[in-house]
Structure formats: structure tokens, C-alpha cells
Amino acid sequence: MVALIKAAQLILSLSILVVLHELGHFAPAKWFKTRVEKFYLFFDPGFSLFKVKRGETEYGIGWLPLGGYVKIAGMVDESMDTEALKEEPKPWEFRSKPAWQRLIIMIGGVTVNLILGFFIYAMVFFVWGEDYLKVEDVPYGLHFEDRIEFLGFQEGDNIVALNGTPTVEYDDIRRSIFSETVLNVTVDRNGQEIVLEMPEDLGQIFIDSNVRQPFLLRCPTFIDSLTEKGSAINCGFQRADQIVGINEMRGTYFQDIAKEINKHINEEIDVHIIRNGVEQTITCKTDTNGTIGFYPVAPNRIEEFNYQHRSFSFGAAIPAGFVEAKEILEGYVLSLRFLFSKSGATQIGSFITLGSIFDASWNWEVFWRTTAFLSLILAFMNLLPIPALDGGHVAFLLYEMVAGKPAPQKFLERAQMVGVVILLGLMVFAIGNDIYRWLTDAL
């Protein structure tokens, strides 16, 4: 069910983004009286799921959910249909239009995605506001992934500064680590500040170690809900029970409890809980994954975590959305430096990875935040100067405007072919990474 929910969110999000991106090309093309032969959501090699012709344009839905396209007359695109280019240019064709009009048509999709990302963030702030946790209000410190303990982190440390700059909000820590070169981390350990020197860029260490969640908030283990297929639902557990130990192991933090349960596969375990102030023990059996089937209460619903809330008026949400979009995009671009390493390249993923970033339950706030993020990424990736992407067309148009003449048609066709091969190669590589991570249970 979780996979279906994530898949549904991914398809809906991509549908919104693709349709609006292509509309960004379609609208200026029609405005400049350029013929648009096709407008498709998803690709349609061989056949389409739906199509209808209105005027000169065929509108349809393809069966391959990897994007979408508009086919503009007189333009060399990913379809590599060059038959019409053998004839003299027609007034309604893309190639007949002035370079500045063609440039507007080509940057229309990227422009829409940039505006959309900013607008969605603004509306999320306006509708839901923003919950945040100050670093000084983290009550139990952080849990650190075992693979990064060699850096000097200890359970319960609280990160209070990066490169000597104080950290203010918890959610900003991870963003800063991947967008900046972090060489030292200051932690609060039992009231004493300790500076940990990193052997290299901390973000690169996380990438090299394949650590996706380097640290999490430590919090008590209260049961929020029980899964239908787990054993816990039949063993007498109740919502709000606090788990304080497994067998001989005593502990309250969720990461410790989950780690201990995971050690037992298809085994009966004694789970020590506190209910209404009274401790008792419940015996139940783990499954083949070493779980018993419960979801913990999130930190933002536990009183000790002093989460605060910001509300935004419509006027305040607009600049806040712009700032959020700017910071998200800057952070993403800066994090791309990790791709130029061997381990960084293995992080490239396809639609499977994209689907994994959506929430396991349908939460509209999380959905729209994720969609805004993807919109910004789609804008940036499309602007890369690679033939077959919008950025490739823009690069050739800028050359034409500077040189005063277009690049030779044969060169454009060959460049487009090279671009298609590059994109297909990247897609195969990304899918291969996803399959490998799935097979090794690392996704």
C-alpha cells in the first residue's frame, strides 16, 4: 500500500509539472503564431492511451510516464523527425520565426517551473504556515548513524555550530551540510561544547559512506498506530503506550528500540511498556523483517519538543516563498559537486528514487512541498546546455543571436542525436542504480 501511495503521488506530481512545463512552450508558440502539432503528457512510442485533435494540435496522454512533450512544426526535437525540414520554411514553422521569439518559446517551460516552484512554496506557507524546532530546544540530542561515529559523534550530541557558525533551526543543519563545505562541527555534549574536526568535506563523507540519514532526533518511543499485518495489533498494544525496553535491553529512544527489535527475526520478544504510569510486559513475535508492526509518535507531537509555528499572511507568504525557492535551488546546485566523485555518481536515481522522496501517507502539505522542489529541479535540469534539452536549444539560439546566423542544420540534427544518446544513457544508468540499491536493500 505504501508503494502505491508513493507511486500515485509521483504520477500526480509529474503530471502537474509536465503539463505546466509544456504549456510554457505551447502558450508563447501559439502567441507567435507557430504551429504546434502535438501536446502530450507522457511519451507515446507506438501508441497513446488517449488522444484528441483540436484544430491543428493533437492532445494526448502517452503510456510511458517519463515526461511529456510538445511537437512544434519546423523544429528539430527529440522525435528526430526531419522530413519537413527538407522543404522551404513555412510562415507558421518554428524555424521561420525571429531568434528572439524562438528563444522565448524555448525558455517558456523553464520559466513556468521556476515560477511554479516559488508559487507553491508561497501557498504552502500561506495555507499551512511552518513548524520549526530551534536547536536549543532539542531535548534529547541526536542519534547518529553507526557508520559516521568514527568522526567523533556520540549519541545525544547536539549540533550547535558548523564551521563556527551557530545553527539556529534543526531542519537547516542537513541543508547546510550538503550546500556548504563543512570542515568542523561543534556539538553540545552534556553541556560542554566540543569541536570535531572533519578529515574532509562532511557532505562528501556522507556520500562516500552512502549515509542518507546521518542523524535524527532522539525521542521517546510512544506508539502512534499499529499496522494491520504486524503482530503488535493482536498482542494487546495500544496507542500512546511507551516502549521502554526489549528483553533485557532497557532504553526509551526509538532508534535504540527499533535496532534491538531488528536483531530478532521470527522470534518471540518481551516488550516492556508503560501504560497509564504502570509498567508491564507484552510478549509478541517479530516478522521476517524483524519488526512487530507499529508507527511511533513523531517528535513534533511530543510535548518535550518545543516546536514553534510561523503563520503567514498572503502578503508575507509571497517573499517567504521566493526566499525558500531560492535557498532550495541554491542548495541543490551546490550539492551537485558531489556527483563528480565515484561515490557521488552512484547516488543518481531514476523515477524510483523520485517516488521514494514522497511521504508514505497522503499528506497534502508534504506533497506540495515535494512538488515545488521537483519543479525547481526540473527547471534547472532542463536549462543545462545539453542538446535535446531546452538548455541545448537555448545555447544554439544564443549563438545565432551573437553570430548573426544559425548553426548549420546538419550540425543541429547531429547534436540533437548526441543529446538523445546522452540522456538515454543517463536514464539507463539511473535505473541501474535504483535496481542495484533495491537488490542490495539499500534504497
List 52's β-bridge partners, or say none: 59
**117 phi and psi, to 5 degrees?**
-60, -45
Residue linked to cell 563523507: 205
Residue 21's pLDDT is 93
- ∠195-201-207 over CA atoms, to 5°? 120
What is the mean pLDDT of the segment spanning 161-177? 92
Share of the chain above pLDDT 90, in %: 47
CATH class of 133-219+304-310: mainly beta
Cβ neighbours of residue 13 closer than 8 Å, sequence gap 6 or more: 358, 367, 370, 371, 374
* Beta carbons of 134 and 306 less than 8 angstroms apart: yes
CA distances in angstroms from 387 to 2, 53, 103, 140, 415, listed in the order given: 37, 29, 15, 51, 6
Identify the H or E element spanning 65.
strand 57-72
Residue 350's pLDDT is 47
Residue 84's pLDDT is 56
> For the chain, which residues make up each domain, given as ranges?
2-128+371-439, 133-219+304-310, 221-297
CATH superfamily of 221-297: PDZ domain (2.30.42.10)
**386 phi and psi, to 5 degrees?**
-110, 125
pLDDT band at 14 (very low <50, low <70, confident <90, very high): confident
> What would the grid cell of residue 346 be?
552512484
* Beta carbons of 379 and 394 less than 8 angstroms apart: no
| Pairwise CA distance, residues 273 & 264, whole Å | 18
Domains 133-219+304-310 and 221-297 equal at CATH topology level: yes
Closest CA to 341 of 198, 442, 145, 203: 203
Residue 442's pLDDT is 40
Q: Is the pLDDT of residue 324 over 70?
A: yes
